[in-house]
Amino acid sequence: MLLKELLDEKGVLLADGATGTNMFEMGLPAGHAPEDWNAAEPENVKAHYRTFVEAGSDIILTNTFGGTLYRLKLHDLQDRAEELNRLGAELACEVVAESGRRIVVAGSMGPTGELLAPLGAMTYADCAAAFTEQARGLKAGGADVAWIETMSAAEEMQAAAEAAISVGLPYVYTASFDTAGRTMMGLQPEKLADVQNTLAEPAVAFGANCGVGASDLLLAVLNMPTDDHVVVAKANCGIPQVRGDKVEYTGTPELMAAYVHLAANAGARIIGGCCGTSPEHVRAMRAALDDWHRGEKPELEDIVAELGPLIAPPAAANDSGRPERPRRRRRA
């Protein structure tokens, strides 16, 4: 399997950067489904993939983050889920073939946007069926691995992983620890490895992506079992700031290069960027990884000194000694 082969060969791999924010820069209209471009604007999608291939990524994610029927129905595209996922993977495979390099095509599978019962109306069976439809398309398009990302609920990660296993795709899963050091549904980074325990096949890797800032994400990584597992760190490029009608991220290429060294020393073996991370950032991250020599595992103080303060620090212990229950935050 290509992802394992490259991990064995290189030790630490560089993933890509953002999809949505970069596609908006290419002209994707606000409110338009990025996945629709897989059929309507294939050359733009290939150009997006190509920028990260040329920047030096070892792994590129497909333009299929919102590829379940639950997300696509917001754009009246629910009947085209399998097709749009297949096309997203096929276009990535074409760009990789043109490059002449060994690059992993990772089929992006984001959350459905629905809450599982009993909190919401979606059953586990319906969730798994939606992810299976998506995984079939990714597999048919040539994806090397299912990349389950930006998750909050353990059950949704398990449903997506079961879907990947059912179609014969290895899988990676990452969660967003954006609520006082936990996911929105209360999952702690220390417990993330346990998500795979009930599944028929183990994950190739797991870790953290997105969230509220690179410092917060690396704190989550420090609390994961990096000695026995392949851990992923895919942080946002700094902090989002609204300027006029745009959301801009504060991270510079230099900051993301420093983040690469900290992530690698923290034990992450797949490192990339999430929201706001451009090909320029990834080029700096490539150079940083190529220049990296293992150092000591960083302390939180080291991370904050390099990358800035935590945005959503873990909740303080209450009088009983247990952490405070995280409160659901409003999203901008």
CA dihedral angle for residue 54, residue 50, residue 274, residue 152, rounded to 10 degrees: -140
Alpha helices in 41-191 (DSSP H): 42-55, 69-72, 81-99, 124-141, 154-167
CA distance 157 to 163: 10
Angle at 54 between CA 278 and CA 258, to 5 degrees: 50
The structure tokens 């991220």 sit at 249
In this structure, the number of other CB atoms found within 10 A of the CB of residue 300 comes to 13
pLDDT of residue 317: 39
d(CA 31, CA 51): 23
Q: How far is CA 183 from CA 8, 91, 164, 271, 299, in A?
A: 30, 32, 22, 20, 22
pLDDT at 241: 80
**Domains, the chain:** 2-307 (3.20.20.330)
What phi and psi, each to the nearest 5 degrees, are found at residue 234? -135, 85
**Cα distance from N-terminal residue to C-terminal residue, the chain:** 39
Note the residue count of the chain. Answer: 332
The two counts, helices (H) then strands (E), for the chain are: 12, 10
pLDDT value of position 318: 37
- Residue 332: the pLDDT is 32
Supply the pLDDT for residue 316: 59
pLDDT in tens, the chain (332 residues): 999 999 999 999 999 999 998 999 999 998 999 999 999 999 999 999 999 999 999 999 999 999 999 999 999 999 999 999 999 999 999 999 999 999 999 999 999 999 999 999 999 999 999 999 999 999 999 999 999 999 999 999 999 999 999 999 999 999 999 999 999 999 999 999 999 999 999 999 999 999 999 999 999 999 999 999 999 999 999 887 877 777 788 899 999 999 999 999 999 999 999 999 999 999 999 999 999 999 999 999 999 999 999 999 997 533 333 334 333 333 23
* DSSP assignments along 21-33, one per residue: HHHHHTTPPTT--
C-alpha distances in Å from residue 105, one per residue of 83, 116, 285: 17, 29, 19
Cα dihedral sign for 45, 48, 52, 53?
A: positive
Quote the pLDDT of residue 325: 38
C-alpha span between 285 and 17 (Å, rounded): 10
Reduce the DSSP state of residue 127 to 3 states and report it.
Answer: helix
Burial class of residue 291 in the structure, from the number of CB atoms within 10 Å of its CB (0-12 exposed, 13-18 middle, 19+ buried): exposed
Specify the pLDDT at position 240: 77
Q: Quote the pTM value.
A: 0.93
